[in-house]
Structure 1
């Protein structure tokens, strides 16, 4: 049971909040759940802003990546009712607002990948892209989107 696993890891899902703009947080089609890009707002605020490798350290960005995962899982749970319906994490795409010359985006995204594997075990292993970008909304250092295989029949 995923809720039990989250407790064991001393993790709590934040409340799923509605998007700020014109889109839905999750779309489910034929057993695949697409989770919109998650930014690491905590109580409506970004703990850190700026470019990773300049104003934001790799460790701070890794913390933010974990927040993105928890927010994504919260949105997914709100849509499908239970994270126990996750059959596989299929794909993670992470965007890292990067300072010129910064090339350690995979190290930032490893925090998200490691967390998903800790929560879901073998089902948490996934394909991934770690992309450096010039700008992200609200000057957030990290944004992550997810694709999950889900059993909506459960």
Structure 2
């Protein structure tokens, strides 16, 4: 395995992908339509527990939010691998969407979402450069601090 594969980059970063969580409502974790793979929103779960709960700008520090977004992205990537088998099938990370649970005056949404975006580029290289939206919301499922969804082009 060369260092130029997504799997090798995961190894280099010390990331072991978890088994993707099973959806808790009436939806699926991923949908493939043609060459597009849509990944449902992923929470910052680590070993089945939320990494960060609460609101940015109140009880969650921005740095913790960045780490939470990174953990969300690890779970997005785990969903991708479960859906397509080989991460080398990813031709492009097309778009990431980030949701940040925060107080009304919080303005560091982009900084928080960089935790996910930076990891996408670290694992997928130039194919990891993507379009992105990040919005603040009053709450997220299970009081999670961050949630990330993704759209990928696959071979």
Q: Which runs of 4+ in 1 moved over 2 A?
A: none
Give the corresponding residue for 2:132: 128
C-alpha distance in structure 2 between counterparts of 1:47 and 1:126, whole Å = 25
Deviations 1:62-97 (A, max 9, x none): 111011111011111111111110000000000000
Deviations 1:31-69 (A, max 9, x none): 000000001122222122110011100110111101111
CA RMSD in angstroms comes to 0.9
1:11 equivalent in alignment to 2:21: no
- 139-148 or 4-13, larger mean C-alpha shift: 4-13
1:55 and 2:80 matched: no
Matched residue SS, 1:121: helix
Q: Give the alignment's TM-score, normalised by structure 1.
A: 0.95
Structure 1: distance between partners of 2:17 and 2:58: 29
Counterpart check, 1:20 vs 2:24: yes
CA distance in 1, matches of 2:76, 2:23: 12
- Name the TM-score, length of structure 2 as normaliser: 0.94
Unaligned runs of 5+ in 2: none
Q: How many residues get paired? A: 151
Alignment gaps of 5+ in structure 1: none
1:98 to 95, 102, 106: 102
- Residue 45 of structure 2 corresponds to 41
Q: Which 10-residue stretch deviates more, 25-34 or 39-48?
A: 39-48
SS, match of residue 55 in structure 1: coil
Q: Shift in Å at residue 12 of structure 1?
A: 1.4
Q: Is the partner of 1:120 in helix, strand or coil?
A: helix
